[in-house]
Structure 1
Amino acid sequence: MSKPGDYTAVRRDIVAQLKKPDYDDGSAGPIFVRLAWHSAGTYDAETDTGGSNGAGMRYEAEGGDPANAGLQHGRAFLEPVKEKHPWITYSDLWTLAGVVAVKELGGPEVEWQPGRTDLVDDSKVPSRGRLPDGAQGADHLRFIFYRMGFNDQEIVALAGGHNMGRCHIDRSGFHGPWVNNPTRFSNQFFNLLLKLKWTPKTLENGVQQFVHVDPDAEEGDEQLMMLPTDVALTTDPKFRVWVEKYAADKDLFFDHFAKAFAKLVELGIQRNGHGAIVNTDNVKGGYLSAPKKSNTPTGSSKGSGGGCPRARL
């Protein structure tokens, strides 16, 4: 067991959990990024509710949201870390895991500060329906992300999280990876979005996505895919400007993604001049860490169109 506040030790043990030969493409990194994103992306600036403080997915009211389908695997992968460091809150652990995963998979260093507390009950769990639906278009993206306080440039930067991971038909309803190497952070997502031809395809479940039909593909090769919200980034003129910039300049994308993701995992957090969180949730016990949960994934794996990672983003 580490000493309380030894986040270096926590980071080291998160890294040790990344390699998963029997899971997806061999890495838990993408689902850690999605877990961090979904734990924070419930924030509503107008009502100042939701956000990364609380780890509300421990409760069915939030964890059972169809948009969070499959994330029980990411949470379970982090339970050995929680066991070694019982002092850390789940809300800190989940957001830190996303930050660590981005860096370890070749992405930028994302600023992260600790201090989040875990909710003591589900009374402050945000309402469902706040996470994006990949089946929608540009207007939907703006509705969801403007509510959190992001602008068009930040929306496109966060969409670059689709450089990692894949969609699962039994979770989000969509199927397949966005890029050729879904365990390596890069700007390939933007390049492929612009350079390849994306054809609509209706899956057997009735969900429509876009796929690239490669004439040189061999039998058994997996098709790359894009969500309707991804394609909307190229058809909306204001979004497309940033898609083109990030496709042409990886360093610019890395810089903007790091800033947007750091902002994302701070949603709903209020800090004083010393960096300490002063949210009213803290009055029930300061740095309140919830008891360790099961190492076995629990909860429904069934989801809706919002189930694919948005920084997935």
Structure 2
Amino acid sequence: MKSDKVAVVDRKQDPDAPPAFSEYKAETKKEGSDRDDIYSHDPHINSDGEALYRFLLDQQTQHPPVLRILIKGSRYETTTGTSYQNSTEFIFHVDVPLSAELANERVHYSLADSEPAYRGDSAKEIEVKGEKKPIGFNDFRNYNSQRDARAKKGVAPWCVDVDEKDLPVLQQGKESEYVEKLQALHARPWKSSRSLREWADDYCSKTSSRREFAFQQDFYGWDLEKLENIMCTAIKEKFGYTGDVTLEFWTVHSKIFARPPGTVSKVLSKIWHGGLSVWKIAGVAYPLTKWVPVEKSSSDSTPSSQFVKTSTGFQKRIGMTEEGWFKKWESTIAEAVNKKLDTCEFISCPI
């Protein structure tokens, strides 16, 4: 779990020359939770913006995110008298790893200056003409609520601030119009007035022992509420389970952290996340399904449900829809439910 480059200066040839870069590997660890976030206390990535920038790019390749789904069945049972006990009848996890095709479609994004974000302080702020300004509690709460709701619907993370009327809705209008509207939203994922490298430089210019740079790894493209409804309906109506069904979705390797190398910071990493100075402004997002341009000759042999003609040419869907994924996994999930599977292992391939 290594990365990055360290500056090596050739003083013999030119003492004033800029440093060249040679291979440098920053030590990383995983937080050990079911989310397995990546973090490093390496001193070099805490003092050199270029090293931190390269570290973030490298880690997303080494540790791509995985969508994990917990599937649990339980029911209340009478124990003694009027006492009831909730009994778990099955519990297992299904992983949705990225295909190579979708991994190559990853997009670097950032929040706009007008969006609440951690920009080097302990509270979220907005940025106006280069100056950071606090936001009101109601604005903060409303923004977070809209962000979470849109994430569940599969909206890309850089579209939180987009007006509701500008979001594409598949049930309204032609599919070609939906695809065009979707692609227009995805045309400009980097919204910050600063580059990722500039944010890395900003972090490295500070010396606080309680600071943290957080780089997000996200998914988009699937309506998780829709998938949850598909799965719960199948478990109850098709598989015949009569208890309560609980589904939880989360992302493994959802964050990559840089934290200071000091002893205090290392101790705090084990018991508390965050800091007095936090940078959380950017990330990388991976589509679970996406429309991409395709040549006419390629579309001729593609099933009609997999391509659409827009004003700019033919588009092909890569990846699976929520329904397509569940159809592929249906027999595996049915067997796990019927056998009352209870395991901490993660199922990553359908049978």
Check whether TM > 0.5: no
Higher Cα Rg, which structure: 2
Q: Give the TM-score, by structure 2 length.
A: 0.24
Structure 1 or 2: larger strand share?
2
Bigger relative contact order, structure 1 or 2 (CA pairs below 8 A, ≥6 apart): 1
Structure 1 or 2: larger helix share?
1
Q: Give the TM-score, by structure 1 length.
A: 0.26
